[in-house]
Structure 1
C-alpha cells in the first residue's frame, strides 16, 4: 500500500510540475482533452456492451450467421464503430500525454477512412449507384490525402530514425572503447 501511495504521489508531483509550465491555453487544451477522453471512454464502454449484448442475443437465438447480410451489417457495423471510437481515444490520449499539441490531421483523415469503410460495410446492397460512386470517390480522395501525408512524413521519420540509430551505435562504440581503455589500465 505504501508503494502504491508513493507511485501515485510521484505521478501527481510530475503532473503538477508539468502543469506549472503550461500556458493558459495549453491548460485549457489539456482539460478539454481529459473531458473528451472520459466521454469517449464512456461511449466505447456502452458500444462494447451493446456489441456483446447483440452477439450474445444472436448466439442464444441461434441466428448468428455471418453469411446473412443483415447480421453481417449489424455486427461488423458495431465493430467498426468501436474501432473508430478507439482511434479517436488514441488521438486524444496522445494530446494528453503531450506528444502532440492538437489532434493531428493524419489521424482525422484515418478516422474518416474508417467511417467510410464502415459505411460500405453497412450499406444496403440496393443503394443507388450514385451514392456508391460518391462514397468510392470520397474513399479514394481521402486515401490519396492519407498516402500523400505519409509520404511527406515518412522520409522525415526515416531520416530521424537513421540518425538515432547512428547515435546509438556511436555511443555504444564509445562505451566499448571506454571499457577497453579501463581494462587495459587495470591490467598494467
Structure 2
C-alpha cells in the first residue's frame, strides 16, 4: 500500500500559523534569497554552456590550455558554490534548520578557496599562495573539529565519514 505524502501547502500553512513574527520574516527572506540565487544559477549555467559551446565551435577549446581551463573550471566551481549556498538557504526555508549552520559556511569557504586555487595565475607570488594555503588549512581544521564534535554529540564513531 502506497503511503500518502503530506501536502506541502498544508504543511506550510500549519507551520506558518504557529510562527512568530520574526520567524515569518526569516521565512520570507529565505524564500526570496532562494529564488534570487536560483535565477543566478540558471543564468550562470546558460552562460557557461554558451562559453563552452562557442569555444567548441571556434575550435579553441583545448582543456590543456591554462587560460581555457581556468575560465571553464572557474565557472563550474562558481556554480557549485552558488548551489551549495542555495541548498543551505533551502534548508532554512523548509524549516529543517533554524539558522545557517556554521559547518555549511565553512564548507562553502573551502569550496571558494578550491576555486581560487583552480583559477590562480601561474605568476602568483609565493606569499599569496602560502596565505591561501594557510586559510585552507585553518578552514579544513575547523571543519574537522566541528564534525568531530557533532559525531561525539551524536554518539557516532569519530572515524566514520560524514
TM-score, scaled relative to structure 2? 0.90
1:1-188 mapped onto 2 (5 Å cutoff): 10-159=7-156
Give the helix-richer structure, 1 or 2.
Answer: 1
Shift of 1:15: 1.4
Whole-angstrom CA distance in 1 between matches of 2:81 and 2:117 = 14
Shift of 1:140: 0.4
Paired residue for 1:3?
none
Q: Secondary structure at the match of 1:151?
A: helix
Please, what is the CA RMSD of the aligned residues?
1.5
Aligned residues: 152
Q: Secondary structure at the match of 1:62?
A: coil
TM-score, scaled relative to structure 1? 0.78
For the structure 1 residues 63 and 157, does the alpha-carbon distance in structure 2 shift closer, same or farther, using more than 3 Å as the test? farther
4+ runs deviating over 4 angstroms: none
Gaps of 5+ in 2: 157-162
Gaps of 5+ in 1: 1-6, 160-188
Whole-angstrom CA distance in 1 between matches of 2:36 and 2:10 = 26
Whole-angstrom CA distance in 1 between matches of 2:8 and 2:114 = 40
Whichever of the two has the greater Rg, that structure is 1
Whole-angstrom CA distance in 2 between matches of 1:119 and 1:11 = 39
For the structure 1 residues 57 and 154, does the alpha-carbon distance in structure 2 shift closer, same or farther, using more than 3 Å as the test? same
Whole-angstrom CA distance in 2 between matches of 1:158 and 1:65 = 50
Shift of 1:64: 1.1
Structure number with the bigger relative contact order (C-alpha 8 A, sep ≥ 6) is: 2
